[in-house]
Amino acid sequence: MTRRRRLGLGAAAAVVGLVAGTVAIRHVPFFRVRQVEVVGVRYLPVRTILSNARIRPDHNIFEDLDRVAARVRAIPGVTDASASRRLPGTLRIGVAEAVPRALVPGPGGMVALDARARPLPFDPAAGAMALPIVARPDSTLTETLAAIADADAELYGAIETVEQGRGGVVVRVEGCRMLFNGVPSVEAIGNAAAVWRHLGGRRARFRVVDARYAGRVFVRGNTA
């Protein structure tokens, strides 16, 4: 038998031994899952994550964690999930949830919407969601809110409602209206926010901040 063949057989035997060892260790009571940590959850109940993860009482820490993560990833409202182990018996599940951008009235109360105006299975009351309100699911409105949230968190936090107007998108914020020509650019948001802060800092009274025109912002109302 050549040396190369002996090395090949030795590597194969090592792989077989590793697989056999892993299978065997899955039946060792010492490595039974004693604790499950769920991190990253803000809106979904932890019990929902645990129920869908389907961790059995005799679940071993060395069982396939990809299956656990896949089951959690399939939960509505979850965008990604991971599962990892910490010896001897802790299973850690990481969860990334969809980000709610608006609330819309529904038959049973307010419903959270994501940036594409899709309903999310989150309880606004339980999650203490202080979000802008839209009259109906509309992706232009929710995408506008997502763009503002990404560009200027302070401005987004001050928004009360957003709606479609004859001249574009109307964002109502602290007693005034901001006008945008559809989903606004970062530049348009920045310009409107700068004017809003400047006039607010001067305690000026104004009704409209019009940012529908490239590179320009018009203010209507008493600014004295």
pLDDT tens digits along 185-196: 999 999 999 999
Identify the residue with better confidence: 25 or 156: 156
- Mean per-residue pLDDT, 137-166: 96
Alpha carbon distance, N-terminus to C-terminus of the chain: 97
Contact 183, 144 (CB under 8 A): yes
The predicted-structure confidence for 107-145, as pLDDT tens digits, reads as follows 989 999 999 999 999 999 886 788 999 999 999 999 999
Q: What secondary structure letter does DSSP report for 128? A: T
Q: Give the per-residue pLDDT at 28.
A: 55
Is the preceding peptide bond at 88 cis, omega within 30 degrees of 0? yes
| Calpha distance 148→174 (Å, rounded) | 15
Torsion (CA) 213, 143, 113, 97 in degrees, nearest 10 = -140
pTM of the model: 0.78
pLDDT tens-place string over residues 209-218: 999 998 899 9
Task: Indicate the pLDDT class of residue 221, thresholds 50, 70 and 90.
Answer: confident
pLDDT of 72 higher than 80: yes
Question: What does the alpha-carbon distance between residue 49 and residue 51 come to, in Å, rounded to a whole number?
Answer: 6
pLDDT of 9 over the 90 cut: no
* Cα–Cα dist 133/144, whole Å: 12
Q: Structural domains in the chain?
A: 3-97 (3.10.20.310), 102-220 (3.40.50)
